Structure 1
């Protein structure tokens, strides 16, 4: 008993003996710190597994996101420099909190600070674990306090270099990049040259920390230099692979494709690298392909990667990059197919979808399939989360520009159909809609039969069980029940008789409520419903024709001015020219067709429209422009002078000096033929004309603005005023 008490007494943290030092060191290392380090490693694994990299952006060198402006200050107790508190009621909830708890326990229960010297050789490890655990909890100030305690009290410890690296990383998070850079340079230069070489593992960590500091301070050249040094040995496989990928991204950003490809090739061939870096290195190699002969090899590589089952999580990216290369090689249909494959991939990410839909939209736009392009751009906007992104804002503008085009195309298509049907005889209208209804019925029957077949053969989507092998369909009660519900959904309650599909054959005697439901379901098969919607009055038909013609004219302007598609602009304007009966549209139609054929170097056709303008509208400004195409204008006035002149004329207008406004604008405009404010001057002049001249002159001035500046805000205002004048 005495011996046992003696041993216990010799193990006191206040007694500096060999037994006491070894007992507390071994207990700290193999009990408390062992569990603490396990918790810390588990936390790191959780971060790596939960963090999602955005491969479209430059990766951070550390795969972790910290909340902005969240810095937790330390609460101190009597343990100077420890930076931890004694809140025993607080239970650890995360792996890093458990690691911190173990570090604190090791320090408090097994620390042997005797006469100002720590006798337990494991306490410095406990403080390092304490700082690292706090770092990942975003408690950076307490973390620095723990690292500083190690550096101040254990200057000769084996882990002093690692502690300095962690302190530097924490300073980077606290926006003290300069302090971090200075400390890492001291570590790498002084320690390496004056004492002993640092281990490769420590060098990698130090250069990575320096690269982090330089990236944060936007000094990419210095970041690149230290990433090159950090990736010399690659002892830390995960961090080394990440460093290589970021280095390749920096080279790509600098448009140094060869250097980037060498880096990505090295990563792709790095056998011990985590697989996600290797697969994305291959994708980046494909993205950097510029040579046609090389692209063939890269395409074959991508096809092999697609076939590999291990790459299923990356199929959306692999299909997308394959499509991009095929598009560059003018294999447009193959590219489209692979864009569709990318969208259909099981793990397709939303951001990847935005790029895929954008490329499909651009292809449709190039092929003048504007409605399809609009639908693809709309899909981009549906899947995006970053609405402030410059790329997304550009797509949004494209989509808005297409919206008016789609609207006018729909008006033309709809009104054409209605006018065409309205001009048919009664018998032709009946035949037309009977054929139309029959097609709808056939399509509905086929859809219903398909669903029944899918159900009968255990379509996994339906969740229904198949009939047993050799069992007839009608012996499967679940299949039969599903089929009956589908039948009633489409046809309602019908008697077993000839021509049962016609709506007037609906069974007599069912409840009124049921009858109403059946009629609602089958209204699309009712011939009278369609015939009743055909306009009968000539005024209604004329209104449709006028609306269609105006839409054709607007389409001509949109294709000509906004999308620079001269062929489609010519088609729409020539068609409206043949159909138009509105005198107000004659001049602008001929003017735009004259400009179109002049641009297309077709002088014969241009002459036809030019003659109409010079003969019927010789007094207009359009005729003057045609007759004086080579007027030499004086040097353009500076923009600020143009703005000053506009303000001056605007104040004259406000002072009711309308005649003076018109005179000065006529004198000033020839000197600014290409100024952005030109439409504003013309609108101001038109408004001044409207104040004291005839309605006819006012309308002519407004019409000129509508025709000449069709895509501007001023043209829209002029158009609204013309509509009011009518």
Structure 2
């Protein structure tokens, strides 16, 4: 008996479940379907997405490392080193959000009784683009996840589309616009953010969006440096913040803002608030340091004592660089430079982390030495700091330039200082000399002992860490010797480890340019001999002698003369004999000469340059380059406007060195003109020479080249003159002269831009190729090939392939300086996201021969790529940005030949011959996913794995029409062209076709409940138009509406295989009554192409005096054409389509006021996301 009941109950339950879910399809818009899809989206895909989002946010919060030496960002994603944290979880949240939107989006309008009156709220509700009252949270989750993982361009596209989708709902619209502005701010697009902020200020802001805009305004004013305006909004943000750790960070940021404005007491109170919140130790420590610094002006001694106590604590042994940096800053406020330098140096010595904090300390110390003209110590500090600091710092460029100059200067000044010291020791009595040497030896031993102790302590800490005995100390210790950091990054993704490697390399080799063969002095691109020569007997003997010397080095090291701990080691270096003194003087002469020129030309320190060069000319009259020293002194005094001294050295130069090149140069009647305008004259001469070369005027080229050699022998364009001169000789038949000039370019100017091309010509001749003249434009990149004279037979045999059904790529080729590459990338990504949601097109930027190529891949054949290109051409924003580039459609197999074997113009000819004549498929190929998986769900509404496709946001609606012109681009919306349907009203849509949803824009007005009022519109009843042809009608908001074909009024029906789109057009009179409507059957579609509509500013309304009424389900009166029986309130202000609409409007207004007065919003998505 029990078995019989179970056997009947199970099929009955399954049948009931099937009937319920079958009635809740997204193709229907009833109370049941809205409730079902809201419920399913909330507790299925969206719930899983929120869990992933929370996990990712926790990972980012716990792993975030702020740079407390500068202003910390409001959002942790603003830290580039922390941006990758939680990325996998955020990707999962995005995937779940997309799935919720795909499965539960309701685009179809609900049915409405035509005889029933419509209120303004009903009209607004009926003109929505999304009827699932919960789905906006899925959109918000997707955009926030993209934002938190650092994909600000993707997030901006999501929020821009979301603001358009919910343009009739002010609360959601305001939130979306706030996040859009934040995306622009974090991306660095301040002008775009200002545009969004300016437009939102013109409209009344819904109270539910105020919280999000507080965050936005605070972030905006901080990024723009308007700290006084940021502070009030930041205080509101702190009140809104639900996470304790984030609130502590925000109070620290508040303290930084107050300190920048000079409000020391307010800053002190803000930092004190940080400590009260019991934040992580690093944040607490930095707050205490900041408290000491802001109060140092009035309580300096007390603050220094407090900092020294912090330095003595074992908990702070890894933060000693910051402690002593703060002590040094306090001394600098007191103008006590000596104690400040001592504190900074001690912090440098005690530092264990080699992080950005040490880099800032060294930068500050280097600046002090720079101002004191102690360039040796300044170079030491700068050289180590440059590997520890971020390249995007505002002062990094200055640091880099100073470091380069000091790398060149310091070897000369150190050499002079060393030789002066050695000569002074040589002149000392033996007793004093030995005492001085002993002091040096003692200092060396002390330094070595300190280094050994530090290394032993570090080894002990590492050993204890491996044994798990470090306790809490190990939590804050950065073990940078490991190949990976705590987040599991590889060595080269660990900036601290990389900086340590750079510092070690620079200690061994100095600062080197990142080029091939960096260890070679002469980096010419031409090999003097292709075949390595065999070693001679003399070379073998030399190598053997060197090896023998190396083998005996260990034995020699034990001798006193090679032991730095013995006096003999130093006595050996002191010049006692006349020969040794003469050799030492040569070193001093060379150092003084080069140092004086660097002081004058690169440091603009004329005083120090004069002192150095005058010592050279006065103390060392036998210097071999004395004529050049006189020349530089003449220039120095001329810059000082000291004509008397300048003429003295000019006379010395002419009298002592009449045939010197510097005498000839100063005797040139054009010298003064060249000194003032020589750079511009030479540039103009080169431009004329280049134009003459392109025009084939080789005699003019030869004349100008000779003039350049005579008048500008040391000019900046001399290498280019020689190169063009050699090419002109080739066209005149002088191939040997051409090769001679190419050799001169390679040997004298190996770092020149034209040196590689000259080397290719020489290598080609050595390979047996013949030089031939010809006209060509070396600036024409479209004719450029990188494989010309040295291509192999295998490469030469390859040709373009005219294959149609293979993978294709659409690319835009452009000069990197000709357009805004970041803006173009964003607009292209937004175009792809908004128009091809079911396809994933990858965007990659690479560089070839100095040109950048933005490539869109993922096309399965030529037809798809061409359809994409045609639709992209209609996007005015993208085309305006890319107007200086060239668009190319090319197969993946042909890309590798482009720019190497063949030029871009070669491919254009090939394309016109083989691809242009092809007939293109009229099937909408890009509306189909690249991969299709069919899975039949167990019930009517899929669960976590249900749905036709997995992946991006998929919506039902219209096809894209390539024949329609693109509309004007709004700042937040994407214009979608519409293709009119030619199928009959009862036709079906293919199951596998994914289409873009209908988005009708309605002008906003005023409502007494904070909603949108639909203004009067002229009646466009299709019934009155008879059998009028379909066309476009200009509407009041300057948009174009494609009118559907006229059909008889009848209830909309649903085809078994298609999606039903209702195309009712409501026109109202002044009283809000419906003037007419039209329903189109089957898949007939209507679209309004317009810019993103923003809610109009609402005039102030008198305050409601009636008591708030809770929102409760309303009993709906039966309607002939409405099948709704149940009403569920999700708090989204949606109308229900019943006769009690006016009452519903008033009740909702009461609820809205009540929530506002209570100060909380139960629909706030922050509650779903655990405060993140």
TM-score range, shorter chain: 0.5 to 0.7
SS in 1 for 2:277: coil
- 8 A Cα contact 2:52 2:93, kept in partner: yes
Per-residue deviation, 1:106 = 1.8
1:406 maps onto 2:414 in alignment: yes
Deviation digits for residues 299-336 of structure 1, max 9, x if unmatched?
34434554666656644323321233246564956963
- 8 A Cα contact 2:307 2:323, kept in partner: yes
- 8 A Cα contact 1:354 1:384, kept in partner: yes
2:287 match: 281
- 8 A Cα contact 2:344 2:361, kept in partner: no
1:324 maps onto 2:324 in alignment: no
Deviation digits for residues 235-272 of structure 1, max 9, x if unmatched?
5545554444444444444x524366256345435516
Cα separation, 2, equivalents of 1:97 and 1:459: 40
1:28 maps onto 2:41 in alignment: yes
- 8 A Cα contact 1:319 1:338, kept in partner: yes
Cα separation, 2, equivalents of 1:279 and 1:216: 25
Cα separation, 1, equivalents of 2:306 and 2:561: 61
Quick one: which of 48, 60, 63 aligns to 2:73? 60
2:359 match: 354
Cα separation, 1, equivalents of 2:559 and 2:422: 21
Quick one: which of 686, 689, 702 aligns to 2:650? 686
* 217-226 or 544-553, which deviates more: 544-553
Quick one: which of 101, 109, 112 aligns to 2:103? 109
Deviation digits for residues 542-587 of structure 1, max 9, x if unmatched?
62475488699989999x9999999xx99x98xx99xx79699xxx
Q: 1:150 to 1:295 in 2, by over 3 A?
A: farther
Quick one: which of 129, 133, 155 aligns to 2:145? 133
- 8 A Cα contact 2:244 2:277, kept in partner: no
* 353-362 or 4-13, which deviates more: 353-362
- 8 A Cα contact 1:147 1:166, kept in partner: no
Cα separation, 1, equivalents of 2:136 and 2:370: 65
Q: 1:537 to 1:257 in 2, by over 3 A?
A: closer
Q: Mind listing any 5+ residue stretches in structure 1 that lack a counterpart?
A: 68-91, 193-197, 465-511, 585-664, 706-712, 714-726
1:302 match: 307
Cα separation, 1, equivalents of 2:40 and 2:553: 81
Cα separation, 1, equivalents of 2:408 and 2:620: 31
- 8 A Cα contact 2:93 2:141, kept in partner: yes
SS in 1 for 2:69: coil
Cα separation, 2, equivalents of 1:217 and 1:161: 22
Cα separation, 1, equivalents of 2:458 and 2:645: 72
More relative contact order, 1 or 2 (CA 8 Å, 6+ apart): 2
Q: 1:343 to 1:24 in 2, by over 3 A?
A: farther
Cα separation, 2, equivalents of 1:54 and 1:342: 18
1:11 maps onto 2:21 in alignment: yes
Per-residue deviation, 1:396 = 5.5
1:180 match: 196
Q: 1:553 to 1:113 in 2, by over 3 A?
A: closer
Quick one: which of 219, 223, 227 aligns to 1:212? 219
Q: 1:677 to 1:55 in 2, by over 3 A?
A: farther
1:143 maps onto 2:176 in alignment: no
Normalized per residue, which structure has more helix?
Answer: 1
Deviation digits for residues 637-683 of structure 1, max 9, x if unmatched?
xxxxxxxxxxxxxxxxxxxxxxxxxxxx9xxx9xx999635479926
Quick one: which of 562, 565, 582 aligns to 1:543? 582
Cα separation, 2, equivalents of 1:209 and 1:341: 38
Matches within 5 A, 1:586-625: none
Deviation digits for residues 373-432 of structure 1, max 9, x if unmatched?
553444334545538533554565566555433221112234556x669x99xxx9xxx9
Matches within 5 A, 1:551-700: 676-678=640-642, 682=646, 686=650, 690=654, 694-695=655-656
Per-residue deviation, 1:29 = 1.7
Q: 1:678 to 1:191 in 2, by over 3 A?
A: same
- 8 A Cα contact 2:217 2:230, kept in partner: yes
1:268 maps onto 2:268 in alignment: no
1:523 match: 556
- 8 A Cα contact 2:251 2:271, kept in partner: no
SS in 2 for 1:64: helix
Quick one: which of 49, 53, 74 aligns to 1:40? 53
- 8 A Cα contact 2:409 2:595, kept in partner: no
SS in 1 for 2:167: helix
Deviation digits for residues 161-185 of structure 1, max 9, x if unmatched?
5344324434545652234313553
Give the TM-score of the pair, scaled to structure 2: 0.36
Cα separation, 1, equivalents of 2:582 and 2:192: 72
Cα separation, 2, equivalents of 1:367 and 1:178: 44
Give the TM-score of the pair, scaled to structure 1: 0.54
Per-residue deviation, 1:206 = 1.2
2:681 match: none
- 8 A Cα contact 2:275 2:284, kept in partner: yes
Q: 1:25 to 1:307 in 2, by over 3 A?
A: farther
Per-residue deviation, 1:10 = 1.3
Measured on the aligned residues, the alpha-carbon RMSD in Å equals: 6.1
Cα separation, 2, equivalents of 1:353 and 1:515: 44
Across the two proteins, how many residue pairs are aligned to each other?
A: 510
Cα separation, 2, equivalents of 1:105 and 1:462: 48
Deviation digits for residues 7-44 of structure 1, max 9, x if unmatched?
32112323667765554433322221111011122333
